């Protein structure tokens, strides 16, 4: 059974809903899923540090990176996490692990592709195997409604100040993406 760690930042909870749906799909497909949320308590000033999270990621067969897209890129707390993995990078700690990524923004485009590209480059620098998504765009159930193949992209439908929510199609997409990643991790048998 592959171990899939989903490490993500969620400011208001919508990205967390995507992470949970991905974990659900991966678990339903036979993987062990672990959610690792980037939290304010892990920061000293602008520096992120949490060796427990890095230890958990070291044990995973696959790591899925997630962050909302703010101002055309990943949110700053996720970038601070990424920067803090330089020692993992230097020691080549994630080489050969499967990687995937997801993002969400308030608009249909929101320059989400830039965030997915950043996440894939981040994984490439670590020597990871990036899992492009094989879902055809605009399926009848709404799967992959934005037609992204680099990873999962979603749109936050909630107006500012309201509880987090996902479009039904994005929740279905996240579940399917989790199943897809679990199937790839099982097939590759990475660690």
What's the pLDDT tens digit per position in 141-177? 888 888 889 999 999 988 878 888 899 999 999 999 9
CA distances from 126 to 35, 63, 189 (A): 20, 11, 18
> What pTM does this model have?
0.95
Q: What is the mean pLDDT of the chain?
A: 93
Rounded Cα distance between 89 and 125, Å, is: 7
Nearest CA among 137, 128, 140, 141 for reference residue 181: 128
Domain extent at residue 142:
3-188
CATH code at position 107: 3.40.50.360
Structural domains counted in the chain: 1
Residues in contact with 182: Cβ distance below 8 Å, sequence separation at least 6, in sequence order = 2, 4, 25, 26, 27, 29, 30, 31
What's the pLDDT tens digit per position in 61-111? 999 999 999 988 999 999 999 999 999 999 999 999 999 999 999 888 778
Q: Which two tokens stand for residue 51?
A: 């060796």
Q: What's the mean pLDDT in 8-25?
A: 96
Only one residue has tokens 């997801």, namely 102
């Amino acid at each position: 059974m592959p171990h899939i760690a989903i490490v993500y930042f969620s400011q208001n909870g919508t990205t967390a809903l995507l992470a949970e749906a991905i974990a659900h799909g991966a678990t339903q497909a036979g993987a062990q899923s672990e959610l690792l949320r980037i939290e304010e308590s892990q920061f000293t000033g602008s520096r992120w540090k949490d060796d427990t999270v890095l230890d958990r990621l070291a044990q995973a067969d696959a790591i899925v990176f997630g962050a909302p897209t703010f101002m055309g890129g990943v949110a700053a707390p996720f970038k601070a996490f990424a920067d803090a993995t330089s020692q993992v990078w230097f020691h080549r700690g994630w080489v050969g692990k499967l990687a995937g990524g997801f993002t969400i923004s308030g608009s249909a485009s929101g320059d989400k592709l830039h965030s997915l590209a950043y996440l894939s480059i981040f994984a490439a620098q670590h020597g990871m195997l990036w899992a492009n998504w094989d879902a055809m765009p605009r399926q009848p159930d709404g799967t992959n409604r934005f037609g992204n193949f680099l990873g999962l992209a979603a749109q936050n439908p909630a107006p500012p100040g309201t509880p987090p929510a996902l479009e039904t199609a994005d929740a279905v997409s996240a579940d399917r993406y989790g199943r897809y990643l679990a199937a790839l991790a099982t097939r590759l048998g990475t660690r």
